[in-house]
């Protein structure tokens, strides 16, 4: 293809064939007019496009421009730590970074390199992005928690390539390993959709991390810090240009529990491998020294965001690891109820301590034969032997004489059938059956035979381990039932008091001393040099709710032991239950271990203090150094 020749001389040679060069262009006038009209139309379209963008909708784009450049950066207010009674740290925070994905900046093709760089599963990442598709664009997708230095380096060095990635500092809870104290401590978690709709959670924002279980939930107000916020102007790479305003973060307060980590550790080890619960209380003030429930869960799994597989495993476990058996297992107390019946009989004046019953291995009441646990019978049994040998026949007879109304009255007095009011969420109250109870709940009459069952802690009677510990402690304290608690408050609840006859209290406590020390059912709880009292219990589980729920009809009875020491000036009371542990005596060693640990520690501390004061005195005598007096827990 060539151009027409440019030389005018060549041109003239061919002039004859072609029409002459025209010097008018009227032929083009119409076309030029069309061009002018098109020009007008184009400018009208452009102006109207700008009218639509700039004038019709001024708010819309202005807000989006602000949303582009104004960002809120949260400053995390760390949650308070949880300490034991001696100030040892149980729950701490771990500062880390978590990675978010700004979805309005996301480009699909970035997902694969991002997944590779951060060692994430690509398909899982795509699925998560897809799940977020219907959420508002400004809501960032949490990509990864607990960033490693390697992850951080990746994000930093690829800031220009992946502007959609940004990190925020975060605090994660660190709980003890192996589920130690799990049910008491609980865990934190992001506020749920359901909670956001409830008025009591109105003060929290979406995304707030709050206590969801145990002490973390109960004392959330104290523990929770307040997140601060920085409002900043950022440019397109996310660099902060300047700060608009900032609100400082407020740390949560540390929370000191009454738990003694030493005792707790002993209790955890002692119950290890068995399902059940242990509660240790100081009956003088209601402080909970140890509390555990087995099987436990690992709160660390909840600390960030529990994985679906982990949650399914916990939820489907037939042993119900999320159940805090210490305050939620409502079980028949079995023979551990007998001291209460004895007290009711004495206090109501129905019998005195000399009252005798002949046990021939059982007895007839209301036409039915009720067997004693000892087939051959205990022979002639008085109150003391009745408790020591845990003679069923004795308590059938006495319970029948006292009557269900008085039994229920005293059971209520020592704290059964209602919550102890411990500072943990979702405590259960148990059941104290009575004619009124039967009428109210089942619209039926009370059967006289039920009284016989209740008298040995069976029938519809159910209690929690905490209630039992509190009840025994109060009886041993001659009628002062302190409110159990995990956190020392400035204004403690007033104890429930009742003017028990000291003689009656001594009769019952003597009986429980005999259980441990006079070849009774609890000899395994003996500790040389220490007056340990206690009572065993072997409770059939057919009647209990838990047994029904777990389908354990044919299972072994629950084993109970409640012990305290020293007998007449108790400092510690321990209740233990071993689910399906067959016989009360088998659980007595757990209680013994804890009591022994308590008194060993006390002796050690006393020795240490003595030593310290002697040292101080000696140094003071030498006059070199003036030390302050002995310190340490009193």
Partner 1 sequence: MSRHFAVRDIDWPLVLIALVLCAVGVLQIYSATLDTEFHSAWWRQILFVAGGWVLMLVIQEIDYHSLLQYVPGLYIGTVLALVATYAFGQSAFGSRRWIPFGPVHLQVSEFAKLVIILLVARYLTELRTEVLEIREMLKLAGLVLVPTFLVLKQPDLGTALTYLAVLVVGAFIAGLRWKYVAVIAVVTVIVLPITWTFVLQDYQKTRWRSFIDPERDAQGSGYQLIQSQIAIGAGGMFGKGVTKGTQTQLRFLPVPHKDFIFSAFAEEHGFVGVVFVLALFFVMVMRIVQNGQTASDPVGMYVCMGVAGLLLFHILVNVGMVAGAIPVTGIPLPFMSAGGSSIWSSFLALGLVNNVRLRRFVN
Q: Are 594 and 292 in contact (CB under 8 A)?
A: no
From residue 271, alpha-carbon distances to 276, 277, 588 in Å are 8, 8, 11
Which residue, chain included where needed, has tokens 């406590």?
509
- The span of 15-23, 172-180, 544-552, 613-621 binding partner 1 (CB under 8 A) equals 15-23
Nearer to partner 1, 54 or 157 (CB): 54
Nearer to partner 1, 164 or 262 (CB): 164
DSSP letter, residue 463: B
- Reply yes or no on whether 335 is catalytic: yes
CA dist 630 and 634 (Å) reads 10
Token pair recorded at residue 236: 């397109």
Minimal CA–CA distance to 178: which of 295, 80, 260, 288? 295
CB 230 to partner 1: min, Å: 17
Total chain residues near partner 1 (CB under 8 A): 52
**From the CB of 32, what's the least distance to partner 1, in Å?**
6
Interacting span for partner 1 (CB under 8 A) from 49-57, 262-270, 412-420, 450-458: 49-57
Contacts with partner 1 in 87-106 (CB under 8 A)? 105
Query: Rounded distance, CA 127 to CA 262, Å?
Result: 47
Burial of residue 359 (CB within 10 Å: 0-12, 13-18, 19+) is buried
- The CB-of-427 to partner 1 minimum distance in angstroms stands at 55
Q: How many residues are there in the chain?
A: 634
Sheet strands side by side (includes 572-578): 287-294, 276-282, 572-578, 558-565, 533-539
Applying CB under 8 A, among 29, 89, 244, 608 the residue interacting with partner 1 is 29
Is residue 192 near partner 1 by the rule CB under 8 A?
no
Please tell me what DSSP assigns to residue 349. Answer: T
Among 18, 133, 375, 445, which residue interacts with partner 1 (rule: CB under 8 A)? 18
> Rounded distance, CA 13 to CA 400, Å?
144
Q: Give the CA angle between residues 589, 591, 594 to the nearest 5°.
A: 110
Nearer to partner 1, 11 or 121 (CB): 11
Comparing CB distances to partner 1, the nearer of 51 and 519 is: 51
How far lies 262's CA from each of 90, 152, 393, 465, 582, in Å? 12, 39, 41, 20, 28
List the interface residues with partner 1, window 105-134 (CB under 8 A).
105, 107
x-marked contacts with partner 1 along 481-500 as a string, rule CB under 8 A? --------------------
Distance of CA 482 to the CA centre of its chain: 24
| DSSP structure string for 194-242 | HHHTSGGGTTSPTT-EEE-SHHHHHTHHHH--B-EEEEEEE-TT--EEE
Residues of this chain, 318-337, that bind partner 1 according to CB under 8 A? none
Residue 231 near partner 1 by CB under 8 A: no
Which range, of 46-54, 88-96, 370-378, 594-602, touches partner 1 by CB under 8 A? 46-54
CB of residue 158 to partner 1, shortest distance in Å: 16
Among 86, 119, 124, 235, binds partner 1 (CB under 8 A): 235
Our finding on whether 46 is near partner 1 (CB under 8 A) is yes
Query: By CB under 8 A, which span of 41-49, 246-254, 349-357, 513-521 interacts with partner 1?
Result: 41-49
Strands 240-247 and 228-234: antiparallel
- Whether 335 and 457 have beta carbons less than 8 Å apart is answered as yes
Spot the catalytic one: 335, 434, 453, 544: 335
| Nearest of 507, 502, 415, 472 to residue 282 by alpha carbon | 472
Q: Does 360 bind partner 1 (CB under 8 A)?
A: no
Q: Of these, 13, 37, 62, 86, which contacts partner 1 (CB under 8 A)?
A: 62
Q: Applying CB under 8 A, which of residues 10, 13, 28, 569 lies at the interface with partner 1?
A: 28
Does 10 engage in binding with partner 1 (CB under 8 A)? no
Under rule CB under 8 A, residue 68 binds partner 1: yes
Distance between CA atoms of residues 633 and 368, nearest Å: 57
* Residue placing its CB nearer to partner 1 in the complex, 57 or 631: 57
Minimum distance, C-beta of residue 21 to partner 1, in the bound complex (Å)? 6
Give the interface with partner 1 as residue ranges (CB under 8 A): 1, 3-4, 6, 18-25, 27-29, 31-32, 34-36, 38-40, 42-43, 45-47, 49-51, 53-55, 57-58, 60-62, 64-66, 68-69, 105, 107, 233-237, 241
- Residues marked as catalytic: 335
């Amino acid at each position: 293809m060539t151009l027409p020749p440019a030389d005018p001389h060549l041109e003239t040679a061919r002039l004859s064939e072609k029409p002459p060069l025209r010097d008018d262009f009227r032929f083009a006038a119409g076309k030029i007019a069309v061009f002018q009209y098109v020009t007008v139309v184009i400018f009208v379209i452009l102006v109207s496009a700008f009218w639509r963008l700039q004038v019709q909708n001024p708010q819309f784009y202005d807000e989006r421009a602000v949303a582009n450049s104004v960002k809120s950066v949260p400053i995390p207010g760390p949650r308070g730590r949880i300490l034991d009674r001696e100030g040892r740290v149980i729950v701490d925070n771990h500062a880390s970074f978590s990675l978010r994905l700004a979805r309005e900046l996301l480009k699909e093709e970035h997902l694969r390199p991002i997944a590779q760089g951060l060692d994430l599963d690509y398909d899982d990442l795509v699925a998560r992005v897809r799940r977020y598709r219907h959420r508002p664009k400004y809501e960032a997708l949490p990509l990864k928690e607990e960033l490693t230095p390697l992850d951080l380096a990746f994000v930093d060095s690829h800031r220009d390539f992946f502007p959609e990635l940004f990190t925020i500092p975060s605090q994660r809870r660190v709980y003890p390993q192996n589920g130690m104290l799990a049910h008491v401590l609980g865990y934190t978690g992001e506020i749920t959709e359901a909670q956001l709709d409830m008025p009591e959670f109105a003060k929290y924002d979406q995304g707030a991390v709050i206590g969801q279980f145990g002490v973390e939930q109960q004392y959330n107000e104290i523990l929770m810090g307040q997140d601060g916020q920085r409002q900043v102007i950022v440019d397109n790479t996310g660099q902060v240009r300047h700060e608009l305003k900032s609100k400082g973060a407020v740390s949560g307060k540390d929370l000191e529990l009454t738990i003694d980590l030493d005792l707790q550790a002993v209790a955890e080890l002692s119950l290890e491998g068995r399902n059940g619960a242990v509660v240790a209380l100081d009956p003088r003030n209601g402080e909970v020294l140890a509390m555990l429930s087995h099987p436990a869960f690992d709160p660390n799994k909840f600390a960030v965001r529990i994985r679906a597989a982990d949650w399914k495993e916990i939820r489907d476990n037939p042993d119900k690891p999320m159940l805090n058996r210490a305050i939620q297992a409502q079980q028949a107390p079995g023979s551990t109820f007998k001291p209460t019946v004895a007290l009711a009989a004495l206090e109501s004046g129905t019998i005195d301590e000399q009252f005798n019953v002949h046990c021939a291995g059982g007895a007839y009441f209301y036409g039915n034969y009720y067997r004693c646990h000892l087939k051959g019978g205990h022979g002639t049994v008085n109150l003391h032997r009745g408790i020591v040998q845990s003679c069923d026949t004795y308590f059938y007879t006495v319970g029948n004489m006292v009557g269900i109304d008085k039994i229920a009255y005293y059971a209520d007095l020592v704290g059964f059938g209602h919550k102890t009011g411990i500072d943990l969420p979702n405590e259960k109250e148990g059941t104290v059956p009575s004619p009124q109870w039967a009428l109210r709940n089942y619209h039926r009459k009370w059967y006289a035979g039920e009284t016989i069952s209740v008298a040995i802690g069976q029938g519809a009677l159910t209690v929690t381990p905490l209630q039992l510990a509190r009840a025994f402690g109060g009886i041993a304290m001659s009628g002062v039932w302190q409110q159990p608690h995990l956190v020392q408050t400035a204004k403690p609840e007033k104890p429930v008091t009742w003017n028990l006859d000291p003689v009656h209290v001594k009769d019952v406590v003597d009986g429980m001393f005999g259980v441990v020390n006079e070849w009774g059912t609890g000899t395994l709880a003996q500790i040389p040099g220490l007056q340990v009292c206690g009572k065993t219990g072997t409770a059939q589980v057919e009647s209990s709710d838990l047994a029904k729920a777990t389908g354990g009809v044919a299972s072994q009875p629950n084993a109970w032991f409640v012990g305290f020491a020293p007998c007449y000036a108790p400092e510690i009371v321990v209740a233990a239950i071993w689910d399906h542990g067959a016989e009360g005596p088998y659980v007595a060693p757990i209680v013994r271990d804890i009591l022994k640990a308590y008194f060993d520690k006390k002796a050690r501390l006393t020795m240490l203090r003595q030593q310290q004061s002697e040292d101080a005195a000696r140094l003071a005598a030498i006059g070199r150094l003036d030390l302050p007096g002995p310190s340490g827990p009193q």
